[in-house]
Protein backbone atom coordinates (compact mmCIF):
# COMPACT_ATOMS: atom_id res chain seq x y z
CA UNK A 1 0.00 0.00 0.00
CA UNK A 2 1.43 3.38 -1.01
CA UNK A 3 2.23 5.91 1.68
CA UNK A 4 2.00 9.67 1.26
CA UNK A 5 5.28 11.29 0.28
CA UNK A 6 6.52 14.33 2.10
CA UNK A 7 6.67 17.30 -0.27
CA UNK A 8 9.05 20.23 -0.17
CA UNK A 9 7.38 23.62 -0.18
CA UNK A 10 8.99 25.17 -3.24
CA UNK A 11 8.35 28.73 -2.11
CA UNK A 12 10.39 28.04 1.04
CA UNK A 13 13.11 26.24 -0.92
CA UNK A 14 13.64 29.36 -3.03
CA UNK A 15 13.89 31.68 0.00
CA UNK A 16 15.89 29.67 2.52
CA UNK A 17 19.19 27.79 2.46
CA UNK A 18 20.46 25.21 4.95
CA UNK A 19 24.20 25.07 5.61
CA UNK A 20 26.06 21.78 6.18
CA UNK A 21 26.09 22.48 9.94
CA UNK A 22 22.32 22.96 9.95
CA UNK A 23 21.97 26.75 10.06
CA UNK A 24 19.01 28.20 8.16
CA UNK A 25 19.85 31.35 6.18
CA UNK A 26 17.75 33.84 4.24
CA UNK A 27 18.05 37.37 2.89
CA UNK A 28 16.42 40.41 4.44
CA UNK A 29 13.20 41.95 3.21
CA UNK A 30 12.66 45.27 1.46
CA UNK A 31 15.57 45.07 -0.99
CA UNK A 32 13.82 44.63 -4.34
CA UNK A 33 12.38 48.03 -5.27
CA UNK A 34 12.40 51.73 -4.33
CA UNK A 35 16.06 51.43 -3.37
CA UNK A 36 17.12 54.99 -4.22
CA UNK A 37 15.40 56.46 -1.15
CA UNK A 38 16.80 53.83 1.24
CA UNK A 39 19.93 54.26 3.34
CA UNK A 40 23.02 52.82 1.61
CA UNK A 41 24.39 51.27 4.80
CA UNK A 42 21.05 49.56 5.35
CA UNK A 43 21.05 48.25 1.77
CA UNK A 44 24.54 46.79 2.20
CA UNK A 45 23.35 44.98 5.30
CA UNK A 46 20.35 43.58 3.46
CA UNK A 47 22.60 41.91 0.87
CA UNK A 48 23.99 39.57 3.52
CA UNK A 49 22.41 36.28 4.48
CA UNK A 50 20.83 36.26 7.94
CA UNK A 51 20.43 33.27 10.23
CA UNK A 52 16.91 32.17 11.16
CA UNK A 53 16.61 31.08 14.80
CA UNK A 54 14.10 29.85 17.34
CA UNK A 55 10.72 28.31 16.61
CA UNK A 56 10.68 29.88 13.13
CA UNK A 57 13.76 27.80 12.24
CA UNK A 58 11.88 24.60 13.12
CA UNK A 59 8.96 25.62 10.91
CA UNK A 60 11.26 26.41 7.98
CA UNK A 61 13.08 23.07 8.31
CA UNK A 62 9.75 21.27 8.30
CA UNK A 63 8.71 23.11 5.12
CA UNK A 64 11.99 22.08 3.52
CA UNK A 65 11.44 18.42 4.39
CA UNK A 66 14.16 18.31 7.04
CA UNK A 67 13.84 17.23 10.65
pLDDT of residue 13 exceeding 80:
yes
Residue 67 DSSP symbol: -
- The pLDDT, as a whole number, for residue 60 is 97
pTM: 0.78
Share of the chain above pLDDT 90, in %: 81
- Please state the domain extents for the chain: 10-63
CATH of domain 10-63: 4.10.410.60
pLDDT digits (tens, 9 = 90+) for 29-43: 889 999 999 999 999
- Give backbone dihedrals phi and psi of 42, rounded to 5 degrees, phi first: -65, -40
CA atoms within 13 A on the CB side of 38: 13
Interacting residues of 49 by C-beta distance below 8 A, sequence separation 6+: 17, 25, 26, 27
pLDDT bracket for residue 49 (50, 70, 90): very high
Determine contact, residues 4/59, Cβ cutoff 8 Å.
no
Amino acid sequence: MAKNKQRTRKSAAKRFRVTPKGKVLNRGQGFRHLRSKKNKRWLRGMKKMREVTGSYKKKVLKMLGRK
